[in-house]
Amino acid sequence: MFAPLADLFEITFIPLYEGNFAQGQFQGYGIFYRQDGMRYEGEFKAGSMHGLGIVSFADGSHGLPRNEGYFEKDRLVRREKCSRTIQRARDTARTARDQCS
């Protein structure tokens, strides 16, 4: 008799974050990647998506309507363009990545 697969393997999905930290939490600008391909590029506060940013999905879409704007505690509360913030998050993530290589 074989054990069920769930008993044999523990699969852990580890998200990835590249960006600023403060007191062990995401803080400032950065990019958060989930295992399913979703990513958030923008501002963080106390470990949450908080401030201007954009959510992208594995297929490259941003949702309909577009999930870009002002977030509070991981929720989009106001839609607006924020290309400068997105670029700053990408630059910060690149700097963090370069420091680790």
Residue 76's domain comprises 16-96
Residue 101: inside a domain:
no
Look at residue 4 and give its three-state secondary structure: coil
Residue 22: inside a domain:
yes
Find tokens 């506060």 and name the residue.
Answer: 45
Residue 86: inside a domain:
yes
8 A C-beta contact, residue 86 and residue 54: yes
- In angstroms, rounded to a whole number, what is the distance separating the alpha carbons of residues 76 and 44? 13
Q: What percent of the chain is modeled with pLDDT above 70?
A: 87
Total domains in the fold of the chain:
1
Q: What is the pLDDT of residues 73-82, one digit of tens each?
A: 999 999 999 9
Residue 8: inside a domain:
no
If you average pLDDT over every residue of the chain, what do you get?
88
With a cut of 50, say whether residue 1 has pLDDT above it.
Answer: no
Residue 9: inside a domain:
no
- In angstroms, rounded to a whole number, what is the distance separating the alpha carbons of residues 84 and 67? 16
Tell me: cis bond preceding 15? Omega within 30 of 0 counts.
no
Amino acid occupying residue 43: E
Average pLDDT over residues 59-73: 94
Residue 47: inside a domain:
yes
DSSP strand pairing (48-56 vs 68-72): antiparallel
What's the confidence (pLDDT) of residue 10?
53
- In angstroms, rounded to a whole number, what is the distance separating the alpha carbons of residues 35 and 51? 23
Residue 11: inside a domain:
no
What's the confidence (pLDDT) of residue 3?
42
With a cut of 90, say whether residue 100 has pLDDT above it.
Answer: no
Residue 2: inside a domain:
no
Q: What is the pLDDT of residues 35-54, one digit of tens each?
A: 899 999 999 999 999 999 99
